[in-house]
Amino acid sequence: MNILVCVKRVPAPGAKINVTDDGQSVDAAHLGFTTSPHEECALEEAVQIAERDGGEVTVLTLGPVEAEEQLRYAASVGAHKIILVPTDGSAWDPQRTAVALTQAIETAEAANGSAFELILFGNESADSGGFQVGVRVAHKLGRPIVNAIKGIVPGDGSVTANREIDGGFEVYEVPTPAVLGVKEGINLPRYPTMKGRLASKKAVLETAEIDAAAGGQTLVKLHRPPEQASNTEILGTDESAASAIVDILEEIGVLA
C-alpha cells in the first residue's frame, strides 16, 4: 500500500509563546521546530503499515525551505520519499494550503502512475488548528475522509478506521483510495536509529513550486491571552506539607 502523509513544521514552544512585534507569527528566534504531534503519529502509522504489508511512504509538507528539517526527520523514521512545496515562510490560509497540497499530490500521483491508496493528515495542525485542510484536499480529490482516527486496519480495497468518540469508538469501513485525519495516541512514534539518520541524509528532496490564491480567512494579528494572575501559596518544602494539603482536600469536599 502506497501511503502519503501531510505534515506541517511548527515551532516547539516551552512555558510561554511569544509573538513577533508585527503580530504575524510566533517569535521562534530561540525555539526549535517540530512536526505537529498528530502528524508524527500519522507518519508512524504509515511506516508500520508499509513495514507490515509493503509499499512506500511519501511525506509532503508546505512551508519555508527550512521545513526540509522535518522532512529529513520523517526519512530518518522510515519515510521513503520526501516532497517540499516551498513558501516564503508566511502563514498560508487553509484554502490556499489545500489547493497547493492537492496540486502537489496530483503531480506526485501522475509521476507514480497511480493514486496513493491512503493519504493521512493530522486531525488538526498544532499551531493554527484550522481543522479543515485534510477535508478540503480529500474533497478536491473526490475521496472519502473521516477525522479523529485512532485505529487503522488496511483491508482489501478498503480500510477499517476507528473514530474516537466519548468512551469508545465508531468504526468506519472506507473504500480506498481514502483519506484519514489521525489523532495522537494511535501509536507511539519511534525515535530515529543511527541507520535511519544516515538514510535520511541520502533521501532525495523533491520540491514542487506551487502557488495558489489566498482564501477568505485572513490573519490580522496574533496575541497572547491575558495572563491569569496567580499567586501561589507555598505549602512547604518537604513531606510535612501533607497535613496542609489534606486540610485543603477536606475543605473542598473531595475527601468523602
Partner 1 sequence: MSALLVVLEHDRGKWSEANDEALTAARQLVADMADGAELHAVLIGDGALDLAGQAGAGGAAVVHVANDAMLTDFGPEACGETVVQLAVAESVAAVMAVGTSRGNEVLAQVAARMDLPFVANCMTIAPGAGSWSMTRVQWGGSLLEDATLDSGDGPKLVTYGHHAVVAAPAAAPGAGEVREFAPTLDASLARTIVKDRDVQTAGVTLSTAPVVVSGGRGVGSAEGFAQLEELASLLGGRVGCSRAVTNLGWRNHTDQVGQTGTRIAPEIYIATGISGAIQHWVGAMASKRILAINTDAEANMVAKADYAVIADLHKVVPAITAEIKRRKGL
Q: Which does 76 bind (CB under 5 to 8 A by kind): partner 1, ligand FAD, ligand AMP, none?
A: none
Distance, in Å, from the CA atom of 245 to the CA atom of 249, rounded to the nearest integer, reads 6
Q: Does 37 bind ligand FAD (CB under 6 A)?
A: yes
| Biggest distance spanned by C-alpha atoms of the chain | 70
Q: How far is CA 24 from CA 18, 84, 93, 131, in A?
A: 11, 23, 13, 20
Site for ligand FAD in 110-139 (CB under 6 A): 126
Q: Which does 97 bind (CB under 5 to 8 A by kind): partner 1, ligand FAD, ligand AMP, none?
A: ligand AMP
183 neighbors 164 (Cβ within 8 angstroms): yes
Q: Which does 215 bind (CB under 5 to 8 A by kind): ligand FAD, ligand AMP, partner 1, none?
A: partner 1
Q: Output 1 or 126, the one with its CB closest to ligand FAD.
A: 126
Site for ligand FAD in 58-77 (CB under 6 A): none
Concatenated DSSP letters of 136-197: HHHHHHT--EEEEEEEEEE-SSEEEEEEEETTEEEEEEEESSEEEEE-TTSS-PPPPPHHHH
Stretch binding partner 1 (CB under 8 A), from 45-53, 194-202, 205-213, 243-251: 243-251
Cβ at position 161, least distance to partner 1 in Å:
9
Cβ at position 95, least distance to partner 1 in Å:
6
Site string for partner 1, 14-53 (x = CB under 8 A): xxxx-x------x----------xx---------------
Q: What is the DSSP letter of 237?
A: S
Q: Which residues pair with 121 in a beta bridge?
A: 181
Distance, in Å, from the CA atom of 137 to the CA atom of 166, rounded to the nearest integer, reads 27
Q: Which helix (H) or strand (E) holds 33?
A: strand 32-35
Q: Output 88 or 239, the one with its CB closest to ligand AMP.
A: 88
List, in order, residues 6 or more apart from 114 with CB less than 8 Å away: 2
Q: Which does 61 bind (CB under 5 to 8 A by kind): ligand AMP, ligand FAD, partner 1, none?
A: ligand AMP
Query: What residue is closest to ligand FAD based on CB?
Result: 126
Binding site for ligand FAD (CB under 6 A): 12, 34, 36-37, 126
